[in-house]
Structure 1
């Protein structure tokens, strides 16, 4: 709360600047009158471009709100973004991949005003020059930059109410003086993320059920500082720093666990109860620095790009997990098991990248480059298991200590050639060659050191072409091959305890998976589009639910473990049609997507690769076809276009995933916005019908079943106030690609 109050003081101190804008008001209105006539949504050779500066949606929104209303983009969990309903989206800012973990990135996007954005680029099939994993697409957020000397910026405050109240505030500023440009952002806030779980698993003879609540309080502060200096007419130097700190103390998980035993006729024989109480404290620190040098080598646009980056991520986490059984008085006060966990993680990464783009007069562009990433992770995990007998007396202590250190070096090289053969036809071909050398060491007291080595080389080809049939019709095709390396936390062989008989297990033996992607796109009048996609995943990295019977105190219990591993192959095929258009003299802005996705899964697992424990065989060889619908609409309610109504809706049909059948999801969101001079007042209501609740169900031929229901209380409202100050004239910022692109997403 202190963070919010600090930024609130900055917010209101800026009110004295309100009069400054009057002298530039006429000029600004003239510029806006010209900008609004631009083509808002268009297809370029390898990407879709959404010109935010020409759209009425941006003002008063956050960057995350704007992204979820961008054509082809969607979110079902209010944290992560997907492209065309399925591909994960990596966030780039000014051509540089964000250096933040998933939680920090979500807070950054939700606290950066959309007024800071010039345009959004959606790259569904990134070329060889991009360092991406698997079938990931790219969302490149191009921020505004001042074109004249002076200062501008904005301030925003918001208050949200879901199950609990939350507040946030942000301050952004852009300054230019001659050759020097500076942009900065500061944000902070607090919230309590609430969830409700229903977990069921077992057989016809043994059935487990866990029901309870999760409350996760968070306080966060973060921001960025960017410097851009024009050395001369041909060269620029840029330095950027991103930082974020999150504190989550007193996070609690409280579950009531019920075990029911039946005979072969289905008659209930016995019911046993216990409670799982987990209290966790955690804090994260994320800091990254990127230095970029750009040199233009000729008048055609040829240039040299050099990058160096350093990333430091630290997470400190400890928890107290207690299993309580009823005492004589019936209250859950008798300890059965206590697990004290200390799970720190430190990641250090140094990255360097060099790119050279040579443009020739005959519409030919050759790009060549390379990158180097060196990463070291340190995970010194300490678990202490305290066991108690049926009378509640201390019985046994079993320490579980594991110091896991992981070193990884990645060398990457790429070459692409792009040729415009005519005014209608252009093509691009390229390849990326990657060399990965890694070693993990696991130190466990009184045991020999375990060493895990991974050395592999991969050639990843890329091909695309674009054909403009005429002024109204355009068709393009792309093929790419990619790898998906395991995230660093997935490799750390730590066990996370949820209940006495329910846990997750990470895996240092996970190997990289390979993905082959194809996409065919047709676009009509820069407003209507059709996208056909096929993806083949080999050695999918995922979490697999494994079950088995265990004996304890002469009784049989059902254990459920979520094992991180490579799990067979998978195919995804999709067809989507959509549009982005304005109606009624730009009073109504609509984007609409509807598509079908077909999933084919082929995986089988019975043994935990880390511990060697044998479970009942889990098989997923199922197929599913599902419908996906998304529409975002903004309606001007008055002639002056100062009042706006937003109606947004998505629906995702049930589909087969690795954990089972994910049931259908949908959400209806409404918003009301008022623009008044330099102020914007907005009210957003999310998940009005309270239908965005995750349910996964799986039935195995051997009689095992598993069910997960997760309610994150997404229905709620947010009231926000945004104030824009200073000269609002802007120009496109220089695109810079970060050096540590292959690393950052793997901290999530």
Structure 2
């Protein structure tokens, strides 16, 4: 049920060592020089934000700092977006970190920003990056200090919204000569409350569901990285990551009003559906890395081997009871019992070689292979309690996937003004699926092989010190997530559910972008994206006969839904005023969408429905501003005022009404301690409302309130030798697979 709730939205948590500090005149002088650096600039294929030159970095977390970085925003305080549209894939020193959204948010919220040197924003990643679709990359570069010793940080937080949600985390770094150890642990409680109003129907039947959803989550996780330098040229590293999520006693309680037209008379019946769900998931991965430096100018070989094990247990009981018009419950009518476990085992290897030449030319090439086996032994049982009729639907679905990939990238600095980067990636995907209990032979032996050639080009022209112009073109593909191809239904009510689709194919995205930057402060971005065979969730609804009455059925179908084009224009700036007492970044985006999709057939059952058509054109606007204000000369008190807004916007499920959020924070730095308080959604304007009237008379309406007005209080403490460097980071061979377990 938790997954269903997220799908409907479609948009859409002691060691203390005190040290004395002395501020010398030399240190003050160095700080003054650092503050004069260009904090935001364009270089080759990426934007670079110099954290060391930003006063916002002191005493903050990585997540809060990212939200204040130009071009980066968050609408839910969990996921990060680039330029208001692209999802962000997080890299740390070039290592892809693909935890699920909750785990990654907790990790970034526990990581101190003091360890960051700069942030790279790559709106269109090159061929060497293993990212899908239109994802952009945020690459976090850590400070490089190599003295021996121990340091770490401890953080505690408490979030008060509708529920109280505490959290804590700590990290420890140890370095002794050639050995580096880096470890972290985080835990959090996050109980979400949502209020839903869902309406759908046609000219002869309709349904309205209204009620509360409560989702309690407990998360525990962390990582251990060990890095050992064998000699001056080679090193090995072992990384282990673990995350556990427990979601017991989730409750969805909806009061339903069902209207049907019998002859010329509308008749209304009422019922209440209550769903109880328990779920827990385990994510364990291990990666072995070997790095060899092949010369003195930066050429190197990287080898990775990784294993991933993902296990999820999930069960739900959905009971529908008769009700009167006031919502008072009567006798039970029907029950739906679901068991939806999933096991994923994956083995991956990657090879990357970077060859640098003395004439500012770099050639990189490599390959990857992954084998993934998914086991879904699910069962759904439907009981009509009045008649005693029971229908059992077992579904044991195996899914095997082999991916072979290779890339070649060349980068050349022609002169001080012109640089270019070009690359190509080839990927071959082989899929096999088998649903042992299916009646359809197509589901018993499902085989699909496809390959893609994905080009990349970036041209950068530094006209002079004040003007920079760049152009990028990229081809990418997006594969369905593993849970999306498991042919099962997830029920909200008996006639309203999400249905997965094993026949989905990978979609392709072709993007191009023109960037202009003026004086390292003002930026202009013009872009175009073409999506082919978009993977979406589309509502199909129609009328069926049920015990002599007409019933309106609504199915959210996972499928490839036509093509889409996006044109966008973004203008923004990053500036400091009043001797850097006020630092601000602002971006305003305009977007024009052209949708072209139509579907009228259930891909699993072959049933015909009135066609769902989205051939609309639409315009939208986004506004984002982040402001950091220093309140004292000693740089110990800071205030923040952040705001984002999304105007009317056409998405796949219909017209999204305007929404936005104002966030106000206060921060105090006292020696190694940082105290912070933030109020989210001060104006209470972050509510998701979607209207979707169809030309054939069908309509769909979604209204979701997540109780986003919240107060968050945090305390953090940094201890130990601050001059210790982080251990070497490396690419994990299973990162791309991890992303698709979400």
* 1:657-676 Cα shifts (integer Å, max 9, x gaps): 11111111210000001111
Q: Residue 305 of structure 2 aligns with which residue? A: 308
8 Å CA contact 2:639, 2:665 repeated in 1: yes
Cα deviation for residue 737 of structure 1 reads 2.3
Alignment of 1:553-568 (within 5 A): 553-568=547-562
Q: Give the alignment partner of residue 652 of structure 2, picking from 658, 672, 697.
A: 658
Cα deviation for residue 348 of structure 1 reads 1.2
8 Å CA contact 1:220, 1:246 repeated in 2: yes
Cα deviation for residue 628 of structure 1 reads 0.9
Distance verdict in 2 for CA 1:581–1:209, change over 3 Å: same
More off after superposition, 249-258 vs 187-196: 187-196
Alignment of 1:397-476 (within 5 A): 397-444=390-437, 450-476=444-470
Cα deviation for residue 733 of structure 1 reads 6.1
Q: Give the alignment partner of residue 381 of structure 1, picking from 347, 359, 378.
A: 378
Q: Residue 346 of structure 2 aligns with which residue? A: 349
2:643 aligned with 1:649? yes
Distance 1:313 1:59 in 2: 37
Q: Residue 627 of structure 1 aligns with which residue? A: 621
Name the SS of the counterpart of 1:713 in structure 2.
Answer: coil
Distance 1:306 1:329 in 2: 65
Name the SS of the counterpart of 2:371 in structure 1.
Answer: strand
8 Å CA contact 1:49, 1:122 repeated in 2: yes
Distance 1:599 1:328 in 2: 42
Cα deviation for residue 363 of structure 1 reads 1.5
Q: Residue 358 of structure 2 aligns with which residue? A: 361
* 1:673-708 Cα shifts (integer Å, max 9, x gaps): 111111111000000111111111101111000001
Distance verdict in 2 for CA 1:33–1:378, change over 3 Å: farther
Distance verdict in 2 for CA 1:329–1:706, change over 3 Å: closer
2:188 aligned with 1:171? no
Cα deviation for residue 313 of structure 1 reads 1.2
Distance verdict in 2 for CA 1:26–1:680, change over 3 Å: farther
8 Å CA contact 1:176, 1:182 repeated in 2: yes
Q: Residue 60 of structure 1 aligns with which residue? A: 59
Q: Residue 487 of structure 2 aligns with which residue? A: 493
2:322 aligned with 1:325? yes
Cα deviation for residue 231 of structure 1 reads 1.7
Distance 2:326 2:162 in 1: 33
Q: Residue 72 of structure 1 aligns with which residue? A: 71
Cα deviation for residue 205 of structure 1 reads 3.0
8 Å CA contact 2:270, 2:324 repeated in 1: no
Cα deviation for residue 339 of structure 1 reads 0.8
Q: With structure 1 as the length reference, what TM-score do the two structures score?
A: 0.94
Distance 1:41 1:666 in 2: 26
Distance 2:643 2:101 in 1: 24
Q: Residue 3 of structure 1 aligns with which residue? A: none
More off after superposition, 552-561 vs 593-602: 552-561
Cα deviation for residue 122 of structure 1 reads 1.1
8 Å CA contact 2:173, 2:724 repeated in 1: no
Q: Residue 728 of structure 1 aligns with which residue? A: 722
Distance 1:35 1:181 in 2: 28
Alignment of 1:173-212 (within 5 A): 173-212=172-211
8 Å CA contact 2:349, 2:368 repeated in 1: yes
Name the SS of the counterpart of 1:683 in structure 2.
Answer: strand
2:608 aligned with 1:614? yes
Distance 1:654 1:330 in 2: 34
Distance 2:272 2:224 in 1: 47
Distance verdict in 2 for CA 1:23–1:588, change over 3 Å: closer
Distance verdict in 2 for CA 1:264–1:598, change over 3 Å: farther
Q: Residue 286 of structure 1 aligns with which residue? A: 283
8 Å CA contact 1:327, 1:334 repeated in 2: no
Q: Residue 156 of structure 1 aligns with which residue? A: 155
Distance verdict in 2 for CA 1:33–1:245, change over 3 Å: farther
Across the aligned residues of Structure 1 and Structure 2, the Cα RMSD in angstroms comes to 2.1
8 Å CA contact 1:286, 1:313 repeated in 2: yes
Q: Residue 593 of structure 2 aligns with which residue? A: 599
Q: Residue 213 of structure 1 aligns with which residue? A: 212
Name the SS of the counterpart of 2:388 in structure 1.
Answer: strand
More off after superposition, 281-290 vs 113-122: 113-122
* 1:533-577 Cα shifts (integer Å, max 9, x gaps): 100000000000010112222211111110000000000110101
More off after superposition, 195-204 vs 49-58: 49-58
Distance verdict in 2 for CA 1:250–1:330, change over 3 Å: closer
8 Å CA contact 2:182, 2:727 repeated in 1: no
More off after superposition, 409-418 vs 268-277: 268-277
Cα deviation for residue 35 of structure 1 reads 4.1
Name the SS of the counterpart of 2:57 in structure 1.
Answer: coil
Distance verdict in 2 for CA 1:738–1:328, change over 3 Å: closer
Distance verdict in 2 for CA 1:272–1:576, change over 3 Å: same
Name the SS of the counterpart of 2:416 in structure 1.
Answer: coil
Q: Residue 684 of structure 2 aligns with which residue? A: 690
Cα deviation for residue 195 of structure 1 reads 0.9
Distance 2:119 2:140 in 1: 5
Name the SS of the counterpart of 2:227 in structure 1.
Answer: strand
Distance 1:637 1:99 in 2: 37
Name the SS of the counterpart of 2:433 in structure 1.
Answer: strand
Distance 1:714 1:606 in 2: 37
Name the SS of the counterpart of 1:546 in structure 2.
Answer: strand
8 Å CA contact 1:24, 1:727 repeated in 2: no
Q: Residue 127 of structure 2 aligns with which residue? A: 128
Distance 1:24 1:182 in 2: 30
* 1:405-435 Cα shifts (integer Å, max 9, x gaps): 1110111011111111111001111100111
Distance verdict in 2 for CA 1:205–1:445, change over 3 Å: closer
Cα deviation for residue 740 of structure 1 reads 2.4
Q: Residue 15 of structure 2 aligns with which residue? A: 14
Cα deviation for residue 260 of structure 1 reads 2.4
8 Å CA contact 2:407, 2:423 repeated in 1: yes
More off after superposition, 144-153 vs 607-616: 144-153
Cα deviation for residue 31 of structure 1 reads 6.3
Distance 2:59 2:233 in 1: 37
Distance 1:464 1:330 in 2: 60
Distance verdict in 2 for CA 1:354–1:720, change over 3 Å: same
Cα deviation for residue 113 of structure 1 reads 3.0
What stretches of structure 2 of length at least 5 have no aligned partner?
A: 1-13
Cα deviation for residue 264 of structure 1 reads 9.1
Distance 1:583 1:156 in 2: 32
Distance 1:591 1:116 in 2: 22
Q: With structure 2 as the length reference, what TM-score do the two structures score?
A: 0.95
Q: Give the alignment partner of residue 274 of structure 1, picking from 271, 292, 295.
A: 271
Name the SS of the counterpart of 1:469 in structure 2.
Answer: strand
Cα deviation for residue 312 of structure 1 reads 1.3
Distance verdict in 2 for CA 1:444–1:644, change over 3 Å: same
8 Å CA contact 1:535, 1:571 repeated in 2: yes
Cα deviation for residue 263 of structure 1 reads 7.7
2:329 aligned with 1:336? no
Name the SS of the counterpart of 1:245 in structure 2.
Answer: strand
Q: Residue 630 of structure 2 aligns with which residue? A: 636
2:54 aligned with 1:48? no
Distance 1:59 1:716 in 2: 23
Q: Give the alignment partner of residue 700 of structure 1, picking from 684, 687, 694.
A: 694
Cα deviation for residue 191 of structure 1 reads 2.1
Q: Residue 515 of structure 1 aligns with which residue? A: 509
Q: Give the alignment partner of residue 298 of structure 1, picking from 295, 300, 307.
A: 295
